[in-house]
Chain A
Amino acid sequence: LGVSEGPTKKMNMCQSINNAIRTSMATDDKAVVFGEDVAFGGVFRCTVNLAEDFGRERVFNTPLTEQGIAGFGIGVAAAGHTAIAEIQFADYIFPAFDQIVNEAAKYRYRSGGEFDVGGLTIRTPCSAIGHGALYHSQSPEAYFSHTPGLKIVVPRSPIQAKGLLLASIRDKNPVLFFEPKILYRSTVEQVPEEDYMLPLSKAEIVKPGNDITILGYGSQIYVLENAIQLIERDMPGVTCELIDLRTILPWDVETVVESVNKTGKLVISHEAPITSGFGAEIVAEISKRCFTKLESPINRICGADTPFPLIFERFYVPDIVRCYEGIKETLQY
């Protein structure tokens, strides 16, 4: 983990995110939190008690306007302050697409470094929840990954969420922080109470292995972990290396290359639709860098090329069965 041996506290991901925001506000007077319904604690309770503790001047509701929230946050950051904005669901970030892609991402570059919005972080809950259907389930990271100037981060656990969010808030670039909402309450860890950061653009090898590299991020890591357990049970002797990418942009090419050069096989899995999903970018780069070491085609196990459906969710998502079958197929190629 890389954090010290100090006191820890049992937290779910909501609580660790709350703790990270709290820490950043306590250490930075210029930090403010805003978005739809954040003042009473947020619809997912991530900002609970912040308004009470830091005042409504620093934690406040905005009108219901995503393009306004993003534009406002850019303005706060352009003045050298720290803007921690919330978009209520990642599905509703698209009205802010122009402000994020044309403005936030290009602020530093277009002004020759005279202005920047490095103080901007946009947090937003993403991914499947079991019954979220089209507009409470999306994973839009790939849309933004085509945008130089942005950083995109997806945590998988409370400890990660705190360390990565603190790093994102303090990073000198605009960061989109996607929080898999299914993990808000389902993951609980002993989270260090101290102020710590985890590095951006650094993947983590969750489980070392020799025969195949399995790559994912966010809540998909848990699906992959379970699929790997079944694979290693059913195929004695086989060990899988599981990598959590953590940062989508700029991503950690080196860690993945090193792993694939060792294992010769790669499976990538994400919830977002397969076509032009971020997996495609990884396939292209790894095919180029590891061409002579690859022993099988790189396999992608992803969401369907359909909108995210309600009643068909179990057939849509890259679940444990699909991951198990996909990994086996690649191992047996």
Chain B
Amino acid sequence: MISTIVKRTFTLARFYPNKGFSRCFSSSLDFHKVSNLEVTNKLEFVETKAPTPMYSAMDKTGKILDKENTPTLSKEETQAAYRNMLTINLMDQILYEAQRQGRISFYMTSFGEEAVVGTALALQKKDYIFSQYREGVVFLQRGMSIEEMMNQSFSNQYGHGKGRQMPIHYGSKELNLVTISSPLATQIPQAVGTAFALKREGNGSVVICYFGEGSASEGDFHAALNMAATIECPVIFYCRNNGYAISTPASEQYKGDGIVGRGEGYGIKSIRVDGNDVWAVYTATKMAREYAEKNNKPVLIEAMTYRVGHHSTSDDSSAYRSKGEVEDWSKRDNPISRLRKYMESKGWWGNDDELEAKSSLKARVLKALAEAETAKKPSINDLYAEVYDTIPQNLADQLQKTKSLAEKYPDYYKINEFKS
């Protein structure tokens, strides 16, 4: 039933301009033409519309519902993406346990949201990525290694960011992965600014910016979407609507038609997709990318999914939702098993492949963990470096004091753990 509605109301052609895409305005209402508005004598408030349907490409058994939605990726590309989904899932399991054992200070899993890898498949290397924190698989797909992510999470001397930020705050200049920060939604207007700069460079790069449905309640979300529309910036806003912001259910987060319902108000072309369907995510992002690049305009994608794991290692989600609810979701619909079924139906994957992939990936994750854990922490100099481009006198003085204290009390400060 649902799939027929989706097919009828949401063919992908609607995503292109001048091809029947009527839900969102392609140009804004000009205030000076307000006299041209149709006048009504009927006193009537604007009614809330029916919820926007959710675009789906493949059903829960991995079957493509409409030939038009057939993914164009090769067997090898699909397998690689699938292996990245397995990898993030394994890293999540292992690093979650490592945090429970006190070996790292903090962790956040992305259980149930691995289909976000579909966005990375649709992007180009020159595109910039601004993340929130639950998009680790995108980093893998872009080319960040397990070892690099492990080094960051263990705050050792080899990790990006020199051990200064909490685990999973990844970043890589080389891969155009802008370093993650904890304050929610701050990256959204920044992504717009970067998209504007890239537009000026004129090499066809776009920006994607991920955030959760909770973050979309921040003022920065509003600022960003409005600026992207008015200044005309090639940016894809990708909202992971997973139903919860820590303990707050989406029903306490907004009363409108989710996040996608807001796009129209900003004059932004918008779409709601099945966030557990890697092909729906991929195809929508691919079209959004083409549209953004060609028109220098923003696009909003709302991906419906479910946060299967706890919010973070500092959260016990059973305090606010039932175990049954979580189990229902993970059994009924899981982005990894859905893609696996698709691959099996094409003869691209079997039980042996699954066993081999899981065991080899697990071995690599465990090896990376052991190496990251035993590596030295960064130098104490790195506490004071890079606050500014050069070290001002007050920081140089503070560094000297810290160093001489550390040398005077080496055991107390465990200076052997740090690079000399």
Contact = CB atoms under 8 A, between A and B. Distances in A.
Interface of A: 30, 32, 57, 60, 62-63, 65, 67-68, 70-81, 83, 95, 98-99, 102-103, 106-116, 118, 148-149, 151, 172-173, 201, 250, 253-254
B190 to A, nearest CB: 4
Q: Give the interface centre of A63, A75, A78, A173 by most chain B CB atoms within 10 Å.
A: A75
A75 B387 contact: no
A114 to B, nearest CB: 4
Interface in B372-390: 382, 385-389
Contacts, number: 147
Contacts of A109: 164, 386-387
B178 interface: yes
A203 to B, nearest CB: 13
Nearest to A251: B394
Contacts of B164: 109-110, 112
Given A148-B395, A172-B389, 18 more contacts: A60-B231, A63-B227, A65-B222, A71-B190, A71-B192, A75-B195, A75-B196, A98-B186, A99-B186, A108-B389, A109-B164, A111-B160, A112-B160, A112-B386, A201-B392, A250-B394, A253-B393, A254-B393
B197 interface: yes
30 contacts: A30-B197, A57-B200, A63-B230, A65-B219, A65-B223, A67-B189, A67-B220, A68-B224, A71-B220, A71-B224, A72-B227, A75-B196, A76-B194, A78-B193, A79-B193, A79-B198, A81-B197, A81-B200, A95-B219, A106-B181, A108-B386, A110-B161, A110-B165, A111-B160, A112-B386, A114-B172, A116-B389, A148-B395, A250-B394, A253-B394
Contacts of B388: 108, 149, 151, 173, 250
A167 to B, nearest CB: 13
B159 to A, nearest CB: 8
Contacts of B289: none
Contacts of A148: 387, 395
B226 to A, nearest CB: 5
Nearest to B189: A71
B60 to A, nearest CB: 38
A112 B181 CA distance: 13
B171 A115 contact: yes
Contacts of A253: 393-394
A278 to B, nearest CB: 14
Given A57-B200, A79-B128, A112-B386, A74 B193 contact: yes
Contacts of B193: 71-79, 83
Interface in B175-196: 178-179, 181, 183, 186, 188-196
A67 B219 contact: yes
Residue picked from A62, A102, A111, A149, most chain B C-beta under 10 Å: A111
Contacts of A110: 161, 164-165, 169, 179, 181
A98 B223 CA distance: 13
Interface string B139-158: 00000000000000000000
Contacts of B387: 108-109, 148-149
B362 interface: no
A67 B227 CA distance: 11
B358 interface: no
B173 interface: yes
10 closest residue pairs by CB, A with B: A75-B193, A71-B189, A68-B223, A79-B197, A75-B190, A111-B179, A114-B173, A72-B193, A172-B389, A112-B162
Contacts of A32: 196, 200
Interface string B112-146: 00000000000000001000000000000000000
B147 to A, nearest CB: 16
Interface of B: 128, 160-162, 164-165, 169, 171-173, 178-179, 181, 183, 186, 188-198, 200, 219-220, 222-224, 226-227, 230-231, 382, 385-389, 392-395
Pick from B171, B196, B198 the residue with the most CB of A within 10 Å: B196
Nearest to A107: B179
Contacts of A98: 183, 186
Given A114-B179, A115-B179, A118-B389, A68 B197 contact: no
A58 to B, nearest CB: 8
Contacts of A68: 189, 192, 220, 223-224, 226-227
Nearest to A105: B387
Contacts of A250: 388, 392-394
Contacts of A73: 193
A118 B45 CA distance: 49
B223 A75 contact: no
Nearest to A102: B183
Nearest to A110: B165
A173 B388 CA distance: 6
Nearest to B397: A253
Of B190, B200, B222, B230, most buried by chain A (CB within 10 Å of CB) is: B190
Most buried by A among B189, B192, B194, B389: B189
B173 A76 contact: no
Given A68-B226, A102-B183, A108-B387, A76 B197 contact: yes
A105 to B, nearest CB: 9
Contacts of B179: 107, 110-111, 114-115
Contact of B171 (A75, A81, A111, A173): A111
A259 B230 CA distance: 52
A103 B389 CA distance: 16
